[in-house]
Amino acid sequence: MKLFVKEEDNMEVLNDRKFNVRDTKKKYSLLNTAALNGLEIVTFKGINKNAKKDEEVSHIKTDYVDYLMEFLKFNPVIESGEEIGGYTISLNEIDMYGEGETVEAAKEDLINSIIEYIDIYVNQIELFTKAESIDKQVYMLKLIRCDGDKDKIRKEIGL
């Protein structure tokens, strides 16, 4: 399939939408323009675009990622218990919880725990991407995109 991309006053042809890292570097400006215009461009590690085990990265318009992330919803579970003397809020999507004497204190504890966990997660991303399910990784990406802003995190987790 031929893809046409207008870059400055030139129309350039992309014969494919999958490129190895070397070719992606060579054609980055063109490929970035294609992605900004709504095409998904895929970069793969090796030299064979048909390899089954080759990792791929999609370059897509951020507005599209924002749109897709809206379908990903957290379902916080708020529980009270006499034995704990307060409240627990659980986020099963990322296996985290917060506790407090009030619901508001439990929310704050959860948000602080999320921020601390994001810091660890980002600094050890290679370990986590090998050990965690893709579901949890995508939910974590949604939270990472909040850039540590407590109000954004509160909104994203539905509190």
Quote the pLDDT of residue 18: 86
Quote the pLDDT of residue 44: 87
Quote the pLDDT of residue 47: 62
CA distance 35 to 143: 24
Quote the pLDDT of residue 158: 95
Residues 55 and 100 in one domain: no
* Domain assignment of residue 13, given as a range: 3-69
Residues 7 and 63 in one domain: yes
Residues 105 and 64 in one domain: no
CB atoms within 10 A of CB 33: 17
Residue 94: CATH number of its domain: 3.30.160
Per-position pLDDT tens, the chain of length 159: 445 555 554 445 566 788 888 989 998 988 998 899 888 999 988 766 565 666 889 999 999 999 999 999 999 999 997 676 899 999 999 999 999 999 999 999 999 999 999 999 999 999 998 899 999 999 999 999 999 999 999 999 999
Residues 91 and 139 in one domain: yes
Quote the pLDDT of residue 33: 87
Residues 20 and 43 in one domain: yes
Count of domains for the chain:
2
pTM: 0.81
Residues 89 and 51 in one domain: no
Residue 146: closest CA among 134, 135, 154? 154
Quote the pLDDT of residue 11: 46
Report the half-sphere exposure of 5 (CA within 13 A, side-chain side).
24
Quote the pLDDT of residue 85: 80
Residues 51 and 87 in one domain: no
